[in-house]
Amino acid sequence: MTSYQRTRAQVVLLAFASGIVFAPIVAAQSTDRIRMRSGSQTGEVIKMTPIAVTIERGDKVTEVPVTEIRSIIFRGEPAELTQARLNATNGGYEAALNRLDSINLGNIREDFIKQEVEFYRAYCNAKLALLGSKPIRAAGTALNKFVTNHSQNYHFLEATELLGDLLATMGNYGAAQSKYQLLSKAPWPEYKMRSAVLVGQALLDQQKFQEALTQFDAALKIEDDSPGGKTQRLAAELGKAVATAATGNVDAGLQAVEQVIRDADPENAELLAGAYNALGACYTQSGQPKNALYAYLHTDLLYGRVANAHAEALAKLVPLWESIGQDGEARRARQTLLDQYPASRWAQQLNQ
């Protein structure tokens, strides 16, 4: 060991004994940075709309579509916001809120940064509300305030869809459908498909099966070979399968759902949770309660983080467990539903 290494080791040991914590020195970011699905853009964000962000670097001005943006890290943003954004992206909503709550908005002058803090606070509260950890109405009010006050923010479409999810969870389908329909105004085929699929799912929840079929067929007519488009196509096929089974053609519905499960990305928890619930619905329609129970159990055991699908699975499991004499499991499913998703329509239906 050299004399320098010995001296450094002694300093570190002394600091450790004194309770001093060494943290890495991070250089302050001198430009805005748009992290994209592939690569990044740096410069100054000079304009936002719901469909694009404009960034300027020297004489070069670039418009980046929202569909290509993973996140934006703004020059001068608090370190707490940077970490909160990462927490939220990874599902650490409580941790993100703790960091956001430590930010003093009065010290922030840049409006884009203030909007970013407001969005992630509303976003995390909404996600936790869907998981049953936050009051759903309060979360909806905060998210609605964001989309109303910041209609040109690049998070607008994401926030609008999430607001629709909150409304649908509360059983306010008309308002939810209105929010979902706004997505169709975006210029990308993926969003037009997404809009039709979400409206179709809301109609399914209301047992308006023929109207739902119309929406799913409309989505399937849209051509889009992008990864997002392929996901929406599978979601449309899944919704159509459920509606088809509900209108009497159960075998065709079962085959279609099984095909979606085979074709789906194993990492797409949201799609697969919906698929296993759809499988359960088809088996119920065909008079196969044990197979239906196994299908809903897939969602309960594997996809508990997909809030609405999990709540639906728990509600469906209660009578299925009872039908085979497993009253203890039925009580567990009921209590989990009431504890985790008390404001959901599934909990409300169970209490009627």
Q: Do 302 and 263 touch, CB atoms closer than 8 A?
A: no
Across the range 301-321, mean pLDDT stands at: 93
The string of DSSP letters for 253-313 reads HHHHHHHHHHHS-TT-HHHHHHHHHHHHHHHHHTT-HHHHHHHHHHHHHH-TTSHHHHHHH
Whether the pLDDT of residue 147 is over 90: the answer is yes
The string of DSSP letters for 216-266 reads HHHHHTS---SHHHHHHHHHHHHHHHHHHHHTT-HHHHHHHHHHHHHHS-T
43: its two tokens? 């410069």
Whether the pLDDT of residue 291 is over 60: the answer is yes
- Residue 55: what are its φ and ψ, rounded to 5°? -125, 140
- Non-local (6+) Cβ contacts of 98 within 8 A are none
Whether the pLDDT of residue 25 is over 60: the answer is no
Question: Cα 250 vs. chain centroid, distance in angstroms?
Answer: 30
Architecture of the domain made up of 183-263: Alpha Horseshoe (1.25)
pLDDT of amino acid 22: 34
Please tell me the distance from the alpha carbon of residue 105 to that of residue 46, in angstroms, as a whole number: 21
161 or 21, greater pLDDT: 161
- Same CATH fold assignment for domains 183-263 and 264-352: yes
Please state which of the ranges 84-88, 180-184, 320-324, 348-352 shows the lowest mean pLDDT: 348-352
Residue-level length of the chain: 352
Q: Which helix (H) or strand (E) holds 349?
A: helix 345-351
Q: Do 69 and 36 touch, CB atoms closer than 8 A?
A: yes
pLDDT of amino acid 352: 64
Q: Do 129 and 136 touch, CB atoms closer than 8 A?
A: yes
Structural domain spans, the chain = 76-170, 183-263, 264-352
CATH of domain 264-352: 1.25.40.10
Q: Per the confidence metrics, is the pTM higher than 0.85?
A: no
pLDDT of amino acid 19: 38
